[in-house]
Amino acid sequence: MKVLKSLLLSLLTFTFLQACHMKNTNIDEAPVATASSITYSAPIRELTDAEYPENPDISIRHKLDGTFSHNKVELVHHTKSFYGVTIYPNNDKSDTIILPRINIYEWIPSVPDTVKSDQYLAEIGLINQEWNRQQVKLRGTQFEVKGKNQEKKVLVRVDFARNCLNAYLWEIIGYALNEEGKEAPVYHGWFNFPSDLYTKLYFERNNMKFEDLQDYLVTWKDPESKPIQTSLLRNVVEEEEISFSVINHELYPLVGERKKKNRNVIYPKNATRIRDFLTDSTQFATFSPPGYYTTDEPRKTELGRLLEIEKIVEREVKSTYGTSGQELKEFEIFYSDREGLRKTRLVIGGLNMKKIPQLSVENAHKGFQMPMGIANHSFYETFEEMNGNPSKENPYYAFLLDEKGNWLDSHKIGIDGPLFHFDEEGSLHLWLLSFERHAFVGHYLIETKP
């Protein structure tokens, strides 16, 4: 009998330990590299002021900018979608920077599974994600600096970015505190993400072949203009036309990103109101490989399409995926040009109004901003925000359409996406971000329903 009890106790103990082990073995554990871990590497390129004279960070960078140098980035696969990133030093003032645990899937373009039933909608979603910047901020224990040199002493933040040019063009930006105690750029490097790894991750993420969209994601092939089936993204609960005010007779505050990028507005120079931008003559500096602004190749626009607003429709919607069942907002803005010939519609939906901050107009640059497309991450977000809002569950979407509901390339027209905030009185402000967010090209006060 004692033997039997002993065997039963041993069996229960083993089962308990196994259950505990299984419970703790999940994607939230710190990954551990093994001897069989696969390593990918790429050289880092750095640009001098002579090579990048129109760098908007010149006006805000740290006094130590140019001191540090790195020569290689290395990505090591740990578990599932998690990778470790190591950035190696290239001089005796620099140190080794380590991003120990990033979910690389969240940087890879993807679409919710429900969208895949419409091939065109899925393609537009994937293309728009690649054509928009995703820069993630890591602070504190989210990165590590190994070494005994100057960089270790000053680095307080590291950004890991996939830029908007093509699938392989990525960036690393380091920040240090300036004399005012604010984060300022102190290092910037560019690298080509290993193409074989990117192809592998894209397939794992989407169960789709990268080669099918390679021409769009690498060489900027223009998609056809076809109807967008928004019914695959949300179900409409109710809708109504709402009141609004256009504030395009005023200029936006020249702070934040608009302040440092004002130098890259080619036309109009010295604008005094937003309406000055609402013409097809407006031009901005373009963004060129490996990821820098240049005025040598002016980016033309069709912003004259957005000169006049005919009406705004507000909808209560429910997402078909992710936050399915949650009540969300959608706004559709109907535009016309000066002659009334070109009709354009802007649809922004899947909006959780609780995520929209309350800010003064002077602090509008800190508002809720998102790119055009489906289930995007924002242009800039913290590591926590990225992990807390996985793209495959994000109900957000935004499109520019013609009068028949056909998709229009927002980059050609000249906008990157919307920015929302409530003001001190609780009124909702919608701003339109220009191409590359150089300017605001729309400002509306919307009388939304509670």
DSSP output for 217-236: HHH-PPPP--B--GGGTEEE
What is the rounded CA–CA span in Å between residue 97 and residue 160?
12
| Predicted pLDDT of residue 38 | 85
Asked whether residue 31 carries a pLDDT value surpassing 70, the answer given is: no
| Predicted pLDDT of residue 325 | 66
What is the amino acid identity at position 79?
A: T
What is the rounded CA–CA span in Å between residue 351 and residue 415?
19
Beta bridge partners of 184: 176
**198 vs 33, residue with greater confidence:** 198
Half-sphere exposure (Cβ direction) of 379: Cα atoms closer than 13 Å: 20
Whole-model pTM: value is 0.90
Domain locations in the chain as residue ranges: 39-219, 230-289+296-446
- CB-based contact 277:267 (threshold 8 Å): no
Q: What percentage of the chain carries pLDDT values higher than 90?
A: 88
Q: What is the DSSP string of 249-275?
A: TSPPP--HHHHHHGGGEEESTT-SSGG
Model pLDDT for residues 184-193, shown as the tens digit of each residue? 999 999 999 9
| Predicted pLDDT of residue 450 | 65
Binned at pLDDT 50, 70 and 90, residue 326 comes out as confident
Strand order in the sheet with 283-288: 265-267, 283-288, 292-300
